[in-house]
Every structure is written in C-alpha cells, then in structure tokens.
Structure 1
Amino acid sequence: MTREQEAMGGTMNISYLRISACIAAVMMAVACVQARPHPANKGFSVKMHHNPAFKANATRAVNRAQRKFQKFSKMASGTVTMTDDGNDIEYYGVVKVGTPGQNFKLDFDTGSSDLWFPYTSCTDCSGKTLYNPSKSSTYKKDGRSWSIQYGDGSTSSGILAKDTVSLGGLKIKSQTIDLAETISSSFQSDPVDGLLGLGFDSITSVSGIKTPVDNLISQKLITNSIFGVYLGKQSSSGGGEYIFGGYDSSKVGGDLTTIPIDNSQGFWGITVDGLTTSDGTDQGDNFSGIIDTGTTLLLLTSDVAGNLANQFGATDNGDGTYTITCDATQLLDLQFSIGGGTFTVPAEDLIFQQNSDGTCTAGFGYSSDIPFAILGDVFIKNNYVIFDQSVPQVQIAPLAGV
C-alpha cells in the first residue's frame, strides 16, 4: 500500500554525534574559569568561606543547574510513540493540534510532505476525530484550497489553516495544517485520522508551505535537524517510535552507514548499489530508490521484483503483488548494499501475510508506474534509520536485537 504523493491537477515527477547544548554550555563555563588572566591585568580576589552547617542536597543541586541552564532545555528532542496497525500495515502516532490540544492519530509518512486531518466541515468523515477550529485559541484562518492524490489512488482535499502542533511535547507555532473537507473511501475505512508528511517541502500540495520538520528547525525546537525512526514488528510486540531532534542509540545494532540523499524531487532518494539473496545470487544493482515509512511493502522495480519471484517460485498476481510460499525455510534473506553498508531483510519478512485460502502474500512487490524502488516498512522495521534533513542524508544501521 503506497501513498507517494501526486498533486491534483499536475503529475509530480519521481526521480554525529549529539552534544547536549547544556553540556556544551557547562564546558564553555569551565573553560572561562580555567583561563588565566593576562599578566598585565591586576584582577581581584574573593575570599571563600566554608559553611559548617551546610548539608548536601542532590535534588537542590539538580534544580539549581536546571534553573541556570533552562534556556537550553528548550533545545531538546521529542519522542512520539507509534502504534502498529494490523500486520505491520501502517504505523501511527498521536499528535496534538491547537490550544488546548486536540488529539489526532496520524500516519507518519516520509513519502509525502503535507500535514492533514479532517475538521468539522468534513461530510464523509464518520468515525474520524474532527478538528474544531472554534475550540482552539491559536487557530488562524488561511482559506486557500488544497488537494492530494496518493500512489494507491486515495485522495483528500480541503482548506489550509495554521495552528500550534505538538510533536512529542515540542510545540510548533503557526504550523500550516491541511483541513480535510473530503476524503476517499480508503481513508474512511483507515484507522488513522490523517497523515503527517516528513518529506521535503518541495512536494507540499501548495507551494511555499513549511513542513513540521522545517519549523522544528527554524523555531529552534531541536538542536539537530534529525529524526530517528524505529518500527517494531507485530510478531515481537509491534509499536515503534520517532525521535525528533535525536535518536535512540540502544536501537542501533551495528555501525551507522551514512548515505547521501537526492532530494531533488522531494523524497528521501538513495541509490541501491546491489541486491543479493543470502546464497550470493545477484538480483539487481545500481537502481534508484526512496526510503518511505508510509509504504507497507518493499516495492522494487519490475525487473528486480521479477528476479526475486523467479528465485522463490512466486506467482505474479497482476496487481503488483505476488503469491509466495508460506514456508520461510524455503526462502532466503535479502541483502541490500547501500553506501558501503549491507542491510538485511530476513526470509520470514518476505511473507507478508497468510490469506484465508491458505496462500501467502509476499512482502515484496512492484509498481509498473513508478521507475524506482520504495524501501517501505518491510525494510525499515529491520533497520534503524536516522533522517537528517539539513545535509541531507540518512544514517542506517541494523536494528539491535533483530
């Protein structure tokens, strides 16, 4: 299921370590204390006295430090816990919009760039949480119209507005929000209320809109222009998390490989240097791809997908999916060579689901209309990915414990 963005009315072409600001400030303060005055300066001295009645209080010491450096505490990171829907079909997080905050379940999608959800004027949004502008003191009217069509045919449209948006406690002021007045039937049956686009601002539905990550950076809510992504598997408790402004080092199970991004068409574009199965068979090399958290499967170019299908005896269903054996022992791991690193999708994840007739649907597929691969959730849930918007680049490592 893919929702690569296409603006209505025109086709869209597709193609560090952290140092805490507080610690840095402390280091600078120590450096100033240790610096010796120039010999020509007379200087002055202050005699210090010991207070024998003083009792150490660790809590007070911590509070004192927090007060002293509280201006730096705003430069933090925000964590959003994700819910894994169904059989790893999609992952959504709760985002607060408005003052006071109204909660929305949003699909976090690096393959699109709009932040949208339905509001009280939506006529076909039964079962959805509806944003109510009249209940937010920070709501600002815009009035321009917007519409989006995604790669799976789903659509939404409405008007623009601005409001405060909270991501993991980080409050973005005057964020442009797309208020949906109509949504297609596929969205009506979806458990999420809308989408949070994490692609680049060149593919927003209306030009000139700044994305939430743009504003996290420009409003200095995060010190690093990164967000770390972990997606869990339903087979091992599911869930996941996005950390805006940081990443979870405990989820990193190996060396981080830094990979340059081609964002010329608004996506997190990469080059896959090679794809092999674990027996060493070459399945394809030097093909373009994007890293997309909003796509469920691993969608490959038709020739590469065909190579895999032939190796595994999978049957092409004619709709971009394959029927494959339900026995993972008859399959092989996939190994992606990207930017000098090797990233594995295990054989068991090449079986996406078992169908009611006893057959199984493959975790990989293809789209004849898209000239590049989409490394969706089947890839991402086996690796930890750090997206860096400013460079731009991604850093990928095998997921710890997989």
Structure 2
Amino acid sequence: MFCKASLLTVALALLASATPVTRETGIRIPIQKRSALTKADGTVDRDAVIRETHRRNLITIDRKMGLENYAEGAYIPPVAHVPASVQRRLEARQSEALTDQEGGEQWTGTISIGTPAQEFVIDFDTGSSDLWVASSSCSGCDASNYYTASDSSTSQEQSGTFDIEYGDGSEASGPIYTDDVSVAGVAVTSQTLSAVTSESGNLVGDVADGLMGMAFPALSQLEADPYFWTAISQGVVSSGEFGFYLAGSDSELYLGGSDSNLYSGDLEFHDVSSDSGFWQISGASIIINGETVASGFATIIDSGTTLMYGPTSAVGSLYENVSGSVSLGDGTYAFPCSDFPTVEVTWGGNTYDISNTFNLGETSNGECQAALGGEDLGLGNNVWLFGDTVMQNLYTVFSVDQNAVGFAPLA
C-alpha cells in the first residue's frame, strides 16, 4: 500500500470514568504520515487525487429512508472504473489521506477491544457510523493488528454479517460481535463491531487496522449505536460533543466537549439539516478573492474525506466566475501558481480562510491545482462534501447534544 514516513502525534483529550473528570492533558497517540499527493519532483500526483465516494452510505440511506426523502437529485452512482495504476488508492473512503502543503496525512489513533485488551490503529471518521477491524481469520488482509474474538472473555458473536461496499467495486465482510472498547481510557461495554474476514482489495493495512465511524446511527450498517453514542448512553463522557483539531503536529480529538485552548472566541453552531445520518448543515458559501462565487448549499462535514467536492455543474459555474481558473479535466481545476486566489468559507457567521490547504501544489503543466473538484457523488443537487481541506483551518465540534456542528477560529 502506501510507504510509511515520519511519525507525528495526536492527543486525545477525554474523560475516562463512569464519574467523568476532565483531564487537563490528553493521551498522545501516534499518527502515521502517509504518501504525499505530490510526486518526487514536487508536482501534484493527479492519479492520487481521485474521487472519494459515498456510494455505500447512499445505499444505506436508500434502504432505510429512501433517497427521494433525503435530497432532491440524490442517486446511487455507478461503480467507478479507474486505471490500474490508481486502484491501490481506491481504499475505503474512511481511510483517505489528509492533505496539507507538505503531503498527505491520515489521522489515526490507538483503541483497544476486548478483555484482555487487543490494540488497533484506526481512522476516526465523521462520514460513517460503524466500527470494524481486521479479523485474525481475514483472508488477504494486510493489517498490523488482528482481532481474535476467542481471546476476549467479553466478546459475544451476534447474528448477521457486516458487508462493506466501496466505489471501485471492492468489498469486505465479516461476522458481527459485541465487546468492550476503549479509546485512551474512555471505555464502553458491549459495543457492536465487525471483524472483517474477507476482502476483495487492499482495504486494511499500512498504518490502519480498521475504522471508527462517528456519524449518526442512521448510517450504521450494523444497525447499532456508534461508539460515541454508546459512550453517551453509558455515561462515560460528560457531554455529547467531540472536537477535532487537525494540524501538522499536536493534532487532537477531544471526547466529551471541546478544547478551548485550541480555538479563539465562541463556537458558532449550525443545526444539522438532514436526518440521513451525515453531519450535514445548510447555508454554506464559498468566497474567492473577496467575491461570493457559490452560496446557499448544504455541506457534509467529513473527516474521512481529504478534499472538497460539489456537483459537477455547480462547481463548473463557480470556476467560470473566477478569473484565471483552468479546467484540468475530470472535474479538477487549477490557477496560475503566481496568482493563486484567496479562498474562504462561511455558513452565515464567521468567515474562515482555507487558502493554505486549498492549493494542492503545482501540476505537471505548471499551474497549481485547487482542492475543490466537481463530482456527481449522488448526494443531491445542493449537497457538497467538505473534508479536511476545510477542517484543517478551523476547530470543529460535532454535537450530539445540540444536533449541530460548531466552528471556531484556531487559536
């Protein structure tokens, strides 16, 4: 899969007992820096900037509530066909590398499952809702750590089978269990999870052994509460909120509230505008060089997606209104590197500058590629996808208590 590079750290600030007590400092967990979105010569690797799909989630939404009840224009996109050279990049959408100016990073942390504890490095993903890891009996898995249910005295096998479908047609499946799960001391019991026993592609391996979904229960294919919802119901966090601070170093996931040392001013909350299961909020705008070029659309805030995506026609119209933009084909765009624009986003309150992460770097033709692409992902005519390109520029809080997403400027 991807070559491994230097280790960074991520701090999980959290509460750790049935009678919650806030810790002043978090527990540091290694984060693995993965391969960059640039080639050795410093230009953008366009094969690495490929579409990230929510096809699996849309199938779940259609089954549970019907796509016609989710969003106008929502549909299940066909399986993607891409060159063999980029097949290895088409992993689980939940394990996309994050983008910064020096390369791609994947935000991972260590969790434990079972009694005695078995440790796993997983991705924290606000765009999905299930916990799964590689099983010790997985055929073809290339994980570093494997779950052995028989070694855990608290493991209980459940009926049914978990199945994961990805945009390139690859799949993974496995049995369903309940077991004790702990994230740096925030321990829950009888958490539903899957241990993947077969896969058709490189869905686990490298630095990640699996995934922890942090979206709403409505997206769960396990038909169970995600870990954080279980933590709320069992009273092991003092509030139903978690905050993300994504940076080149000292990144942090804060369970049970927000870390006020990492942002300035007050958090600005926006109500979740859909019951689909996504952290989806309305009223977004994009401002380029001081001019509003798109407004009034909904955004899914997804830590498991690297870049930004909007419907192909809407994104095309946006770039038509920006001087200097160049279409690179396949829904991607660029600007002259010497005159790359300033880019801001807002949901009607504070305005956040995302220029630093909006520039992906130089292409082979000498332009600099933009992080917003046009892709018809089936999410609806007015639903856009905002990943870590946005989240790396602001503190983001996901509030189950308020059914809202909050933002604040970084400190």
> Taking structure 2 as the reference length, what is the TM-score of the superposition?
0.72
* Counterpart in the other structure of 1:380: 391
Q: Distance in 1 between matches of 2:168 and 2:105?
A: 14
Shift of 1:305: 2.4
State which of 252, 259, 266 in structure 2 corresponds to 1:255: 266
Q: Hey, what does 1:302 align to over in structure 2?
A: 312
| Alpha carbons of structure 1 residues 84 and 280: separation in structure 2 relative to 1, 3 Å | closer
- 1:251-330 correspondence runs (5 A): 251-277=262-288, 279-310=289-320, 311=322, 313-325=324-336, 327=337, 329-330=338-339
Identity in percent: 31
Please give the alpha-carbon distance, in whole angstroms, between the structure 2 residues aligned to 1:116 and 1:274: 35
Distance 1:341 1:240, change over 3 A: same
Point out the structure with max Rg over C-alpha: 1
Question: Take 1:351 and 1:253, find their aligned partners in 2: how far apart are those partners?
Answer: 25
Instruction: Give me the whole-angstrom Cα distance separating, in 2, the residues matched to 1:267 and 1:10.
Output: 12
Which sections of structure 1, spanning at least 5 residues, go unmatched?
16-82
Task: Give the whole-Å Cα distance in 1 for the aligned partners of 2:228 and 2:357.
Answer: 31
Q: Cα RMSD between the aligned structures?
A: 2.6
Equivalent residue, structure 2, for 1:148: 164
Q: Counterpart of 1:217 in structure 2: which amino acid?
A: I
Quote the residue 1:87 is aligned against: 103
Check if 1:96 corresponds to 2:112.
yes
Per-residue deviation, 1:322: 3.3
| Offset, 1:323 | 4.5
Q: Is residue 2:351 matched to residue 1:342?
A: yes
Show the counterpart of 1:205: 221
State which drifts further: 187-196 or 122-131: 187-196
Task: Please tell me whether the aligned partners of residues 98 and 165 of structure 1 are also in contact (alpha carbons under 8 angstroms).
Answer: yes
Q: What SS class does the counterpart of residue 319 from structure 2 fall into? A: helix
- In structure 2, the CA distance between the partners of 1:215 and 1:332, relative to structure 1 (3 Å rule), is same
Q: 1:333 offset after TM fit, Å?
A: 2.1
Runs of 5+ unmatched residues, structure 2: 1-50, 72-96
Which of 229, 236, 247 is the equivalent residue of 1:221? 236
| Cα separation, partners in 2 of 1:8 and 1:291, compared to 1, 3 Å | closer
Correspondence for 1:110: 126
Distance in 2 between the 1:125 and 1:332 partners? 43
Structure number with higher relative contact order (C-alpha < 8 Å, ≥ 6 residues apart): 2
- For the 8 Å contact 1:84–1:239, the answer to whether it is kept is no
Shift of 1:314: 4.2
Provide TM-score, normalisation by structure 1: 0.73
Residues 307-354 of structure 1: per-residue CA shift (max 9 Å, x gap): 4534264444443433444x2x512222222142222212x3222245
- Give the counterpart letter for 1:302 in structure 2: T
CA distance, structure 2, for counterparts of residue 275 and residue 153 of structure 1? 33
Q: How far apart in 2 are the matches of 1:218 and 1:10?
A: 24
Relative to structure 1, the CA distance from residue 172 to residue 355 in structure 2 (aligned partners, 3 Å threshold; closer, same or farther) is: farther
- Number of aligned positions between the proteins: 324
Structure with more helix by fraction: 1
- For residues 204 and 330 of structure 1, do their structure 2 counterparts lie closer, same or farther at Cα, with a shift above 3 Å needed? same
Match of 2:44 in 1: none
Q: Per-residue deviation at 1:190?
A: 5.1
Distance 2:118 2:357 in 1: 36
Query: Quick one: distance in 1 between partners of 2:239 and 2:279?
Result: 18
Q: 1:151 and 1:344 mapped to 2: Cα distance?
A: 31
